[in-house]
Amino acid sequence: MGQLFSNTPKNEDNGNLESSFSEYFRNYKPENQIISEETIHSIELCLKRGDLQRANSIICDALKNIDNAPINIAVTGESGAGKSSLINALRQVKHEGKGAAKVGVTETTTKVDSYKHPKIKNLTLWDLPGIGTMKFPPKDYLEKVDFKKYDFFIIVSATRFTKQELDLAKAIKIMKKNYYFVRSKVDFDLDNEKKSKPSDFVREDILIQIRKSYLDTFRENKIDAPQIFLISSHNLSDYDFPALMDTLVKDLPTEKRRNFLLSLPNITEAAIQKKYNSVKQFIWLEAMKDGLLATVPVLGILQDLDMERLKKSLDYYRDLFGVDDESLKLMAKDAQVPVELLKKKLKSPYLLKLKEETLGALLLNYLEKFASANGGLLATGLYFRKTYYLQFHFLDTVAEDAKVLLQEAYPKK
């Protein structure tokens, strides 16, 4: 065990440390990394030179930037297009929930409304009035709604995009901002088509026709055809909502990805995995920051465990992945099953109820697993506080619990 928890890396180990750091982040595709290639390269260079103080400083700054990076999403479209439903879906708030955007309101709005994400403090969604209600040319409209503060625009329609909305897209492009066209309520279209033509109904053919009608509109207006996302805010795992999320993650600046990834609804195993990877990278960077300059001697297996910090971390992960007690109660209510029945299928609620010696054995087992997966890192003698190893284990357990609940919610998927 002493080999796993040695003091600050010696100079001859710096090359190995740099190699281990590089290898770790190369395991993630560039679009899933939460720090930029430039930052990764700077840290690698410092480690190679043995400048651990500078490497530590860069990691500290990166963590601070990631944690504090604001994300502002603008949603616009005509009244009744489904803007509020989309905003609530992105915030994982039910329509009747506290602070939800009002759904089904027919009167047009001429002001900008903001909605904070209930779990991600720096994520704000902005409900913009439809350009038709503002009576301004697109450029003036963008200035009126303070376009500079938004990371991107989502233009929502439930029928056909108006010429004003198409002109707005052109103006957004000129302003060098990203925009995305979302066709909402496709489930209603499919239901109506099935009722009117039950014998000829083919789901995929209808979706192709809807998409084609939009692409034809763009061609008629001499606009390069963008990607069209067909969604239902009532059934996020179906249609193009997962593809929309993947596109937004890829197009966001690197330092903003982590906060956006944390906001992803648990609608597919891929979404849960992306969220898991973002949290894991953040823990790993925190652990490395603390480990680079550590001079802590080898201690007993549980002697340096910070139980209060562990509890706080576990509670945070459970809340983030929707396996906390409150989320379980809501899910049990929707499914009309006892909450204890759901809880029995999970492992994370019981992790800190283990006896101390059991927790110690758990840590030893996880260390063995971690060492086999990250041998190059541990060979450098880098010191990770034992608390971090258990945080990794807690995160693994919570993510697996989220996948269990996903199967409960969508058994056929």
The answer to whether 342 and 332 are in contact (CB under 8 A) is: yes
Sign of the CA dihedral running 312, 282, 47, 51: negative
User: 375 near 294, Cβ under 8 Å?
Assistant: no
Both tokens of residue 245?
Answer: 């999320």
Cα separation, 179 vs 173, in Å, equals 8
Q: What is the pLDDT of residue 259?
A: 94
Residues forming CATH 3.40.50.300 domain(s) in the chain: 70-252
Q: What is the pLDDT of residue 201?
A: 85
Interval 14-61: pLDDT, tens: 556 777 777 788 788 888 899 999 999 999 899 888 898 999 999 999
Residue 128's nearest CA partner among 115, 140, 110 is 110
- Is there a contact between 296 and 304 (Cβ–Cβ < 8 Å)? yes
pLDDT computed for residue 298 by the predictor: 43
Query: Are 113 and 127 spatial neighbours (Cβ–Cβ below 8 Å)?
Result: yes
Structure-token pair, residue 42: 């700077």
Q: 293-306 b/e with 16+ CB inside 10 Å = b?
A: ebeeeeeebeeebe
Q: What is the sign, positive or negative, of the torsion defined by CA atoms of 74, 84, 406, 203?
A: negative
Burial, 222: exposed, middle or buried (Cβ in 10 Å; 0-12, 13-18, 19+)?
exposed
> What are the two backbone dihedrals, phi and then psi, of residue 224, each rounded to the nearest 5 degrees?
-55, 125
d(CA 374, CA 371) in angstroms, rounded, equals 5
Does the reported pTM lie above 0.75? Answer: yes
Q: Residue 74 is which amino acid?
A: A
Task: Kindly state the DSSP code that residue 324 receives in the 8-state scheme.
Answer: S
pLDDT above 90 covers a percentage of the chain that reads: 42
The torsion defined by the Cα of 82, 233, 105 and 178, in degrees rounded to 10, comes to: -40
Q: What is the CA radius of gyration of the chain?
A: 24
Residue whose pair of structure tokens reads 């652990």 in the numeric block: 287
Write down the architecture of domain 70-252 according to CATH.
3-Layer(aba) Sandwich (3.40)
Burial track 132-160 (b if 16+ CB lie within 10 A, e otherwise): bbbeeebbebbeebebeebbbbbbbbbee
Q: Average pLDDT of the chain?
A: 83
Residue 234: exposure state from Cβ atoms within 10 A (0-12, 13-18, ≥19)? middle
pLDDT, residue 367, reads 63
Q: Is the Cβ–Cβ distance between 77 and 165 less than 8 Å?
A: yes
What is the percentage of the chain residues whose pLDDT exceeds 70? 81
Question: Using DSSP, how many helices (H) and how many strands (E) does the chain show?
Answer: 18, 6
User: Phi/psi zone of residue 73: left (φ > 0), alpha (ψ -120 to 50 degrees), beta?
Assistant: beta
Residue 197 burial class via C-beta count within 10 angstroms: exposed 0-12, middle 13-18, buried 19 and up: exposed
pLDDT computed for residue 134 by the predictor: 75
For 325-356, the pLDDT digits (tens) are 999 998 888 888 898 988 999 999 988 876 65
pLDDT tens track for 294-328: 654 444 444 556 678 888 999 999 999 999 999 99
Three-class DSSP category at 228: strand
Range from 22-26, 75-79, 112-116, 390-394 carrying the lowest mean pLDDT = 22-26
Split at pLDDT 50, 70, 90, the class of 8 is very low
The whole-angstrom separation of Cα 219 and Cα 164 is 15
Strands 123-127 and 113-116: antiparallel
pLDDT at 376 exceeding the cut of 70: no
End-to-end C-alpha distance for the chain, whole angstroms: 43
The pLDDT tens digits for 138-176 are 888 899 999 999 999 999 988 888 888 888 888 998 889
Q: Quick one: pLDDT at residue 266?
A: 92
